[in-house]
Amino acid sequence: MKSFIQKMLGKDEKFYELLEASAEEACISARALSRVHAAIGKPDFENALTALVASRRKDKRLGRSITEELCATFITPIEREDIEALANALYKIPKTSEKIAERMAICPTQFAADIVTKQVRMLEQATEVLSGMVASLRKLSDVDKIRDAYEVLQTIEGDADKLMVGLLRDLYQGNVDAKEVVILKDIYELLERAIDHCRDAGKVVFQTALKYS
Number of domains in the chain: 1
47 vs 106, which has greater pLDDT? 47
Is the CB of residue 123 less than 8 Å from the CB of residue 198?
yes
What pLDDT does 17 receive?
A: 95
Range of the domain at 173: 2-211
What integer is the mean pLDDT of 99-114?
75
Give residue 88's identity as a one-letter amino acid code. Answer: N
Q: What is the CATH number of the domain that holds 126?
A: 1.20.58.220
Is the CB of residue 208 less than 8 Å from the CB of residue 140?
yes
**In 39-142, which residue ranges form alpha helices assigned H by DSSP?**
45-72, 80-104, 109-115, 117-135
Q: What is the largest CA-CA distance in the chain?
A: 72
What pLDDT does 111 receive?
A: 59
At residue 176, does pLDDT exceed 50? Answer: yes
* Among 103-117, 148-162, 167-181, the range of highest mean pLDDT: 148-162
Computed over every residue of the chain, the mean pLDDT equals: 86
The rounded distance, in Å, linking the Cα atoms of 199 and 123 is 10
